Chain A
Amino acid sequence: MATQQSRSAARLMMAPAVVLLLGWMLIPLTMTLWFSFRRYLPLRGGDLGWTGFDNYVRFFTSSAFWPSVQTTLILVGGVLVITVVLGILLALLLDQPMWGQGAVRVLVIAPFFVMPTVSALVWKNMFMDPVNGLFSHLWRAVGAEPVAFLSDVPLGSLIVIISWQWLPFATLILLTAVQSLDNEQMEAAEMDGASVLSRFRHLVLPHLSRAITIVILIQTIFLLSIFAEIFVTTGGAFDTRTLTYLIYQRVLESQNVGLGSAGGVYAIILANIVAIFLMRIVGKNLDR
């Protein structure tokens, strides 16, 4: 049991880290809140005074707001479904003993280390380009008309690009969970005559549920702020403008810092709503 003194000493020593962390978090948040109530137009002379809730009302009633929320949710949802489903399958596959396992695992994880802008550029120019892309060559090879992916199915293309990037993360987390699965339990089930599918449903999936929860939570946090991929591929055109991108447009393209900050506050609220929902749905997995 710690004495009074050692406890206060511990607090004192922790103080710098705590202060730093708080500053790190609170200063930007406070500034966003502050700006969101100001009429701040850098190209019109800067800070032009208080404006109450004008920015909030304007951002919310803008014709771009709801479509962007919808786009955000579709994007995040689509990527989550693809990465979790494929992640489980890949994790099970990589768990099988095979020749060159180490090398294969490194290859599978590699996309995660490619920078978002780079991977988006590679996908845009080398795969999805309707004239010179790999897919257009494949399409032509079978006599089909090449598809201009980024203008015909822009949101779907984006989901594919982002899923490709985040699949390794999901696979990695799920693989470690699969590896911790008790082999004897599986053998016992097999001897009792449980089929592959029912072993998967009743043993593997429940065992993985916690890992899946973590994958979903962490990915959601990062996916809500996806930006580089949209910026590089469509620039927000063709209904791919997410809430994050809308805020960028308001702050940098329209040079309206106040309006963008109000959007930032909405984004925080949206992220929290999504997080609460997710916690409710999958939260019980974390309690166990």
Chain B
Amino acid sequence: MSLKRALAATTALNLCAAVVPAAAQDSSITIATVNNGDMIRMQGYTDQFTAETGIGVEWVTLEENILRQRVTTDITTRGGQFDIMTIGMYETPIWGANGWLIPLDDLSAEYDVDDLLPAMAGGLSHDGTLYAAPFYGESSMIMYRTDLMEKAGLEMPDDPTWEFVRDAAIAMTDRDNDVYGICLRGKAGWGENMAFLTAMSNAFGARWFDENWRPQLDSDAWSETLNFYLDLMEEAGPPGASSNGFNENLSLFQQGKCGMWIDATVAASFVTNPDDSAVADSVGFALAPNTGKGRNSNWLWAWALAIPAGTNQQAEAKQFIEWATSKDYIELVAENEGWANVPPGARTSLYENPDYQAVPFADMTLKSILSADPLNPTVEPVPYVGIQFAAIPEFAGIATQVGQEISAALAGRQSAEEALSKAQALTEEEMEAAGY
């Protein structure tokens, strides 16, 4: 009896012992990523990576907000579920400062780190050390319908003012035919309407915090920004705008219902693709508008790959990052799907490539990216880094709630002044709770 049991126990132990090294030897890596077009495309090419290196790749593909929560929870609890995380410009400097990411300071020579666009590398670093490699980068710009602009008898300058944009939007609006002069984000969320509004407020001379971290949402500049935005959407925006995010506006623009759309530069390849877009042959591009105060309303963002500290597959993960963000990968995609579909905004060499310069939106994308300066985002000085966000851990929570107040104002449930005073109150509370 006892012999039998001992035997059973040994067998069980052996089984465990057999399983554990198998798991450790397994050289496959798990990657958390966002369900954007460029990422999905990359997954199609991972077989090639596996064939080249023998490293298996497991994907966990999630919607943007869910991804943020999953990776944030995983990194703060040292969960260790992922070997590579797809994170953005907001998370990277904060996490890098906390020592949660492995520094990418020993990348190979052929990777050519210096080829990364300085704005991107700068935004993905903390204290000069790169913590995440940009997979693609974006700014925001105006995409507009050249035919409607012509019909309205106007001509879009390369660097328009908000005044011009408002006049053009009103002139282009034709509600009877479901054509709205301007489509802007209205869905609440720090990465949704607040990304747009924060960038817009920079052009109006507003800022989130002053040098002493006092919230500035009750300032005149913010009130001017919000009133301008609400009036513009009232006069020339689509109905139900308070639930429109990037994807909703993209679909409206592709159906030909928007005269202008100010959003991410990556959208340019979607609205000029004749397979998806009914207006592909009549789209023009211009810099995001300004008010003559020296700042444009464009943001800067990168989706980047980072390695969480504590992974057992550090070498393999680094190998994958070098592969996925390399020049070779860009060429691989260009060969198979054309230059318009390569991941944009990460490398200088891409914009020097004559093949890519022939792409209609390449020039304006680069100009937008270069005109964004995350270190000096506002007219007045600020203590934070980031254009459409402030790179402090509390910002996402604060801006999501502020975004809800503004979304409610856009839905007509409260006035701009009410929204801003509530926003100011809740920001003060959160900043106090965080110990500022």
Q: Which residues of A contact B (CB under 8 A)?
A: 41-46, 58, 62-64, 130-131, 146, 148, 150-152, 235-239, 241, 249-250, 252-256, 259
Please measure, in the bound complex, the distance between the C-alpha atom of A250 and the C-alpha atom of B430, giving whole angstroms.
9
Please measure, in the bound complex, the distance between the C-alpha atom of A130 and the C-alpha atom of B178, giving whole angstroms.
14
CB distance from A54 to the nearest CB of B (A): 8
**B189 part of interface (Cβ distance < 8 Å):** yes
Q: B-side binding surface: helix, strand, loop or mixed?
A: helix
Residues of the A chain whose Cβ atoms lie less than 8 Å from the Cβ of B413: 151, 238-239
CB distance from A134 to the nearest CB of B (A): 16
Please measure, in the bound complex, the distance between the C-alpha atom of A241 and the C-alpha atom of B403, giving whole angstroms.
14
Residues of the A chain whose Cβ atoms lie less than 8 Å from the Cβ of B400: 249, 253
**B1 part of interface (Cβ distance < 8 Å):** no
Please measure, in the bound complex, the distance between the C-alpha atom of A259 and the C-alpha atom of B432, giving whole angstroms.
12
CB distance from A177 to the nearest CB of B (A): 41
User: Which 6 pairs, one residue from A and one from B, show the smallest C-beta to C-beta distance?
Assistant: A254-B397, A43-B393, A42-B76, A237-B404, A151-B411, A253-B397
Q: A41-B434, A238-B408 are in contact. Are A148 and B239 (CB under 8 A)?
A: yes
Please measure, in the bound complex, the distance between the C-alpha atom of A223 and the C-alpha atom of B112, giving whole angstroms.
56
**B407 part of interface (Cβ distance < 8 Å):** yes
Residues of the B chain whose Cβ atoms lie less than 8 Å from the Cβ of A58: 429, 432-433
Residues of the B chain whose Cβ atoms lie less than 8 Å from the Cβ of A259: 433
Please measure, in the bound complex, the distance between the C-alpha atom of A71 and the C-alpha atom of B78, giving whole angstroms.
36
Per-position binary interface string of chain B over residues 46-69, scored 1 when its CB falls under 8 Å from any chain A CB and 0 otherwise: 000000000000000000000001
Please measure, in the bound complex, the distance between the C-alpha atom of A238 and the C-alpha atom of B398, giving whole angstroms.
16
Residues of the A chain whose Cβ atoms lie less than 8 Å from the Cβ of B429: 58, 62-63
CB distance from A131 to the nearest CB of B (A): 7
Q: Which residue of B lies closest to A46 (CB)?
A: B76
Query: A63-B425, A152-B411 given. 7 additional CB < 8 A pairs?
Result: A58-B429, A235-B188, A235-B404, A252-B69, A253-B396, A255-B393, A255-B396
Q: Once the chains bind, are B394 and A254 in contact (CB under 8 Å)?
A: yes
Within 8 A of A (CB), among B200-221: none
Within 8 A of A (CB), among B421-436: 422, 425-426, 429-430, 432-434
CB distance from B399 to the nearest CB of A (A): 9
Q: Once the chains bind, are A148 and B240 in contact (CB under 8 Å)?
A: yes
**B2 part of interface (Cβ distance < 8 Å):** no
Q: A253-B400, A254-B398 are in contact. Are A148 and B72 (CB under 8 A)?
A: no
Per-position binary interface string of chain B over residues 63-97, scored 1 when its CB falls under 8 Å from any chain A CB and 0 otherwise: 00000010011001100000000000000001000
CB distance from B92 to the nearest CB of A (A): 13
Q: Once the chains bind, are B394 and A238 in contact (CB under 8 Å)?
A: no
Q: A151-B240, A151-B243 are in contact. Are A238 and B393 (CB under 8 A)?
A: no
Residues of the A chain whose Cβ atoms lie less than 8 Å from the Cβ of B398: 254
Q: Once the chains bind, are B393 and A236 in contact (CB under 8 Å)?
A: no
Q: Which residues of B contact A (CB under 8 A)?
A: 69, 72-73, 76-77, 94, 98, 188-189, 239-240, 242-243, 393-394, 396-398, 400-401, 403-404, 407-408, 411, 413, 422, 425-426, 429-430, 432-434
Q: Which residue of A lies closest to B398 (CB)?
A: A254
Please measure, in the bound complex, the distance between the C-alpha atom of A239 and the C-alpha atom of B188, giving whole angstroms.
13
Residues of the A chain whose Cβ atoms lie less than 8 Å from the Cβ of B76: 42-43, 46, 255
Residues of the B chain whose Cβ atoms lie less than 8 Å from the Cβ of A151: 240, 242-243, 407, 411, 413
Please measure, in the bound complex, the distance between the C-alpha atom of A237 and the C-alpha atom of B399, giving whole angstroms.
12
CB distance from B72 to the nearest CB of A (A): 7
CB distance from B260 to the nearest CB of A (A): 20
Q: Once the chains bind, are B240 and A131 in contact (CB under 8 Å)?
A: yes
Q: Which residue of B lies closest to A67 (CB)?
A: B422
Please measure, in the bound complex, the distance between the C-alpha atom of A146 and the C-alpha atom of B188, giving whole angstroms.
22
Most-contacted residue by chain B among A64, A131, A148, A152 (CB, 10 A): A131
Please measure, in the bound complex, the distance between the C-alpha atom of A30 and the C-alpha atom of B400, giving whole angstroms.
30
5 contacts between A and B (CB under 8 A): A43-B98, A58-B432, A146-B239, A151-B407, A253-B397
Residues of the B chain whose Cβ atoms lie less than 8 Å from the Cβ of A250: 397
Please measure, in the bound complex, the distance between the C-alpha atom of A4 and the C-alpha atom of B85, giving whole angstroms.
61
Please measure, in the bound complex, the distance between the C-alpha atom of A8 and the C-alpha atom of B98, giving whole angstroms.
55
Q: Once the chains bind, are A235 and B239 in contact (CB under 8 Å)?
A: no
Residues of the A chain whose Cβ atoms lie less than 8 Å from the Cβ of B430: 254
CB distance from A147 to the nearest CB of B (A): 10
Q: Which residue of A lies closest to B193 (CB)?
A: A237
Most-contacted residue by chain A among B77, B422, B433 (CB, 10 A): B433
Q: Once the chains bind, are B72 and A255 in contact (CB under 8 Å)?
A: yes
Please measure, in the bound complex, the distance between the C-alpha atom of A58 and the C-alpha atom of B429, giving whole angstroms.
8
**Neighbour of A42 across the interface among B77, B422, B425, CB < 8 A:** B77
Residues of the B chain whose Cβ atoms lie less than 8 Å from the Cβ of A253: 396-397, 400-401
CB distance from B55 to the nearest CB of A (A): 31
Please measure, in the bound complex, the distance between the C-alpha atom of A1 and the C-alpha atom of B410, giving whole angstroms.
73
CB distance from B435 to the nearest CB of A (A): 8
Residues of the A chain whose Cβ atoms lie less than 8 Å from the Cβ of B243: 148, 150-151
Residues of the A chain whose Cβ atoms lie less than 8 Å from the Cβ of B396: 253-255
Please measure, in the bound complex, the distance between the C-alpha atom of A54 and the C-alpha atom of B411, giving whole angstroms.
35
Q: A151-B240, A249-B400, A249-B401 are in contact. Are A237 and B407 (CB under 8 A)?
A: yes
Q: Once the chains bind, are B393 and A148 in contact (CB under 8 Å)?
A: no
Most-contacted residue by chain A among B73, B239, B393 (CB, 10 A): B393
CB distance from B396 to the nearest CB of A (A): 6
Q: Which residue of B lies closest to A231 (CB)?
A: B65
Please measure, in the bound complex, the distance between the C-alpha atom of A286 and the C-alpha atom of B189, giving whole angstroms.
46
Residues of the B chain whose Cβ atoms lie less than 8 Å from the Cβ of A152: 411
Q: Which residue of A lies closest to B421 (CB)?
A: A63
Q: Which residue of A lies closest to B404 (CB)?
A: A237
CB distance from B97 to the nearest CB of A (A): 10
CB distance from B103 to the nearest CB of A (A): 19
Please measure, in the bound complex, the distance between the C-alpha atom of A152 and the C-alpha atom of B239, giving whole angstroms.
12
Please measure, in the bound complex, the distance between the C-alpha atom of A280 and the C-alpha atom of B239, giving whole angstroms.
48
Q: Which residue of A lies closest to B190 (CB)?
A: A253
Please measure, in the bound complex, the distance between the C-alpha atom of A112 and the C-alpha atom of B76, giving whole angstroms.
36
Q: Once the chains bind, are A238 and B411 in contact (CB under 8 Å)?
A: yes
Q: Which residue of A lies closest to B408 (CB)?
A: A238
Please measure, in the bound complex, the distance between the C-alpha atom of A113 and the C-alpha atom of B38, giving whole angstroms.
37
Residues of the A chain whose Cβ atoms lie less than 8 Å from the Cβ of B434: 41, 44, 256
Residues of the B chain whose Cβ atoms lie less than 8 Å from the Cβ of A63: 422, 425-426, 429
Residues of the B chain whose Cβ atoms lie less than 8 Å from the Cβ of A46: 76
Q: Once the chains bind, are A235 and B422 in contact (CB under 8 Å)?
A: no
Please measure, in the bound complex, the distance between the C-alpha atom of A236 and the C-alpha atom of B407, giving whole angstroms.
11
Please measure, in the bound complex, the distance between the C-alpha atom of A62 and the C-alpha atom of B394, giving whole angstroms.
16
Q: Once the chains bind, are B433 and A256 in contact (CB under 8 Å)?
A: yes
Residues of the A chain whose Cβ atoms lie less than 8 Å from the Cβ of B77: 42
CB distance from A9 to the nearest CB of B (A): 24
